[in-house]
Amino acid sequence: MSGARPMARRAASEGPKWPWIAAFLIVAADAYLCACDPRDLDRLLINSMLALSAFATLHVRMLSLASAGFAAVGAYTSAILAAKLGWPVYASIPAAALACGAVAMVIGLPVLRLKDVYLAICTLGFGEVVRVSIILLPGLTGGSTGANLSTGFGYETMKQTRTWALAPTLAVLCYLFWSASKSRTGRALRAIRENPEAAEAMGIDVVAGRNFAFLASALIAGLAGAFYAHSVGSLENGDFRFSRAVDILGYAVLGGSGAWFGPVLGAGFLTALPILIRDGLGSSLGFLKGFAQLPNILSGLALMLVIILAPGGLASAFPRLPERGRPEGRRRQARGPRPEGAAAAPSSAAGPKGKVLLSLKGLGRSFGGVEALADLSFDMEEGVTYGLIGPNGAGKTTLINLVSGFIPPSHGKIEWLGREIQGLGACRAARAGIARTYQDIRLFAEMSVLENVVAGRHIRLRSSLPAAWLRLPSERREEADAREESMDLLDRLGLSGLADREAGKLSYGDRRRVEIARALALEPRLLMLDEPAAGMNERETAALGDFIVDLKRQGVALLMVEHHMDLIMDVCDEIVVLDFGRKIAQGAPAEVARDEAVLEAYLGRD
Amino acid sequence: MGSLLEVRGLEVRYGNIEAVRGLSFAVEEGSIVAVIGANGAGKSSTLLALSGLVRASGGSITFRGREIAALRADLIVRAGLAQVPEGRAILAPLSVAENLELGAWTRRDAVATAADLERVYAVFPALADRRSRLAGSLSGGEQQMLAIGRALMASPRLLLLDEPSMGLAPKLVSAIFGTLADIRRTGTTILLVEQNARQALRLADRGLVLSHGSLFKTGPSAELLADPAIVEAFLGKA
């Protein structure tokens, strides 16, 4: 399909050859079909559009089967507007898409709370509601007998208007997907796909992202449905039945949900295959004609084969092009001297050192009757490094989860710069300047190291999606700067050599460092590190300690949970000790190390 | 003959990244061998290749005189080699007892299995007290005990551990290392990957120092602990 061609030229020399051959065969087969019968071109383009609709939701791991339902709404809306109300065809098509958008907003409210297979079943229900509604409104839709646009709907006036806009519309959609995939928004959506929780911690609004994906899916399905109505000239409610919803999902799954050109390839493959098999059998093996379902069986088998060979979809088999860390011709010096470590320093003036950033007041949290944390109060000041220690299960990670907004407290208050922030959620906490890492490392595993860090800069970047679509110079520049700043951050953590590597495939300690770099990319005023030195040897731990001291000098407040006592003693200014959810000691490292209760509960006596 | 495990020219590759390049070593029956080295040196990849969770792209792995490099992971467990994975990988929604029972999945000898279960509970009394609790509700240290206990339930001749001390409070680290010494006394051979290199070498008989996927140095652990180059590069200040 159109989408695969530019990619083919750019990287054909690397990686396996077979995806390119497969893509070429699919394009060739589709070209052959369209040359034989122009009606197949319409079918192909519409299926590709529907595949993009399914891709929009699948890309953020939402298993929605609503595309067929939206296509039905789009088709009937456009047909009614054009044939019954006399609208111009080209006004009826966008109007139909907008109608779908409106429907999506209404049903999205309750439906999008659901996940996985529940979402699938619920959206399938939506498709059935649409289909049955069409039958129950015969005056408007033609009911179960269908709508013949040439009689009741004035098909004759619409027939000529069908194709010229279809191909350009699909091309524009492909362009929008392609340019979005390289933008701040596209990166945020990939982050949601890879790890919604970590995305929240970057200040990415996961709910808004999913709503946007659902809305985009509905608009595109509506467009496809409207084009379908005018292309075919008649509608039956069976056009958008259950199996159609599954077909559409099949295009996107076969093509792959990772890259936008996948579903277009998938649609090209699954559209051409049954026709080619049918024609091939029809001419060469006439005696098999009795088996009317044979082409369907064969194309089903072919679908299974492709999915087994390329489990991530066709798109996943193509080698990925690494993002360029340092764009050619751009040097940091060109922008003048940079303040030392600006990437990690607070964006605004830090204010006097010693200012209270965070104040915990009687904070507590219980899980099913077990008090994980009880009545905890202390203040955290700018530029101070706090160590949080205690036995496993003492409530250390619970505290980080509370402050970063992942869970609400059962009682007590969390004040950030004097304002209460408890219960506001992780996204708001991140936007306020609170960053964290995870004990069990949550990277965007299938994204590159550099992309992970750039995703961490999400809230510091401003460019909107339209700016990316228009490829405004300001957006290009912001992206290039973000990559360069992220490379600087990777440099400082000794990771620049790994920038293009897939984050999930790094060794444990390297993944930890990438996570720290990603958290710092947010330019936090408070950074909470949950066991940053786990999986690092003494030498690497010492290097991490130097790095943390460096951060402290820049005014970042740090809260570090760690069991490497050397590290805690070396870098922390103040230590808080928890045991069974309660604070048992707080003070300077030397004091705490001598504290009887701490020795008893945590350090042990040698 | 003689060695329980013999690895020759092991290679592990992820795409075009070489994680392990031609590594050879042997583990004697009844010993504890510690594998140390920087991040990305290939320690975890070596263990994964031994337990069959990652396919070796080259070399041979001989365990009890039998080539296992191409064997399926479950058959390797059956052959007597069990791994305690990095990050514990306990089955959080199952109970402690269920986790342990699954450790014995490949075994058919009900009587010996029951005896081993009692043995695990004896080694880790904390697990016995919590046998019907969900594994996910255990603290980090208890989860590590569970992961070790689960591997022991396979009744392995060779126990592989990937960073058992990770994320544990100092008191617990000593306790876990003490337990490993106990386990060896019962006749189980141990191959241990640790970032806590000093403590691991004190426990072990021999050490393997990996660097960039190949063997940098090997020898009795006392020698390694005294080697200035090793101390400088891997152990840091005392």
Least confident stretch, A2-16, A370-384, A574-588, B38-52: A2-16
pLDDT tens for residues A283-324? 665 555 556 677 777 778 877 888 888 878 888 878 766 555
Give pLDDT, residue A14: 57
What letter represents residue A538's amino acid? E
As a whole number, the mean pLDDT across chain A is 84
Q: Tell me the domains of chain B and their CATH numbers.
A: 30-54+72-206+223-235 (3.40.50.300)
**Neighbouring C-beta atoms of residue B1, cutoff 10 Å:** 5
Tell whether B134 is within 8 A of chain A (Cβ): no
pTM of the model: 0.84
Chain A residue with minimal CA distance to B39? A509
Residue A7: per-residue pLDDT = 40
Does pLDDT of A217 surpass 90?
Answer: yes
Could you tell me the sign of the dihedral formed by the alpha carbons of A481, A483, A489, A491, in that order?
A: negative
Residue B156, min C-alpha distance to chain A (Å):
25
Res A11 pLDDT > 60: no
- Let me know: does B212 contact B43? Beta carbons within 8 Å: no
Question: Cβ separation of A538 and B198 shorter than 8 Å?
Answer: yes
Q: Point out the residues of chain B with pLDDT beneath 70.
A: 1, 236-238
* β-strand pairing of B206-211 with B32-37: parallel
Question: Angle, to 10 degrees, between the axis of helix A116-136 and the axis of helix A89-111?
Answer: 130
Q: Which of A509, A542, A604 sits opposite B170 (nearest CB)?
A: A604
pLDDT of residue A337: 36
**Confidence at residue A235, expressed as pLDDT on a 0 to 100 scale:** 83
Q: Which of B17, B87, B170 sits opposite A563 (nearest CB)?
A: B170
The strand pairing partners of A560, in sequence order, are A387, A529
pLDDT in tens, A58-94: 999 999 999 999 999 999 999 889 888 888 888 899 9
pLDDT for residue A330: 43
Pair A364, A573: CB distance under 8 Å: no
Quick: pLDDT tens for A400-449.
Answer: 999 999 999 999 999 999 999 998 999 999 999 999 999 889 999 999 99
Selected residue of B195, B198, B231, B237 to mutate for chain A interface (largest A Cβ count, 10 A): B195
Based on the number of CB atoms within 10 Å of its own CB, is A526 exposed (0-12), middle (13-18) or buried (19 or more)? buried
Domains of chain A: 4-317 (1.10.3470), 356-603 (3.40.50.300)
DSSP-assigned states of every residue in A290-345: G-TTHHHHHHHHHHHHHHHH-TT-GGGGSPPPPPPSS-TT--GGGG----TTTTTS
| pLDDT-derived band at A15, boundaries 50, 70, 90 | low
Alpha-carbon distances, residue A252 vs A272, A434, A581 (angstroms): 15, 37, 48
Mean pLDDT, to the nearest integer, of A457-467?
93
Does the structure show a pLDDT above 70 at A332? no
ipTM above 0.85, yes or no: no
Higher-scoring residue by pLDDT: A466, B237: A466
Q: In what order do the strands lie in the sheet with A370-381?
A: A370-381, A356-367, A411-416, A419-420
Taking the CA of residue A331 and the nearest CA in chain B, the distance in Å comes to 29
Least confident of A234-238, A265-269, A465-469, A488-492: A234-238
In this predicted structure, what is the pLDDT of residue B87? 81
Per the CB < 8 A criterion, the answer to whether B235 and B38 are in contact is no
Tell me if residue A189 falls in helix, strand or coil. Answer: helix
Interface test with A, best of B16, B18, B137, B171 (most A CBs within 10 A): B171
Cβ-count burial of A540 within 10 angstroms (0-12 exposed, 13-18 middle, 19+ buried)?
buried
Rg (CA), chain B: 17
**β-pair type (A526-530, A411-416):** unpaired
For B61, the token pair is 């792995």
Residue A250 has pLDDT above 80, yes or no: yes
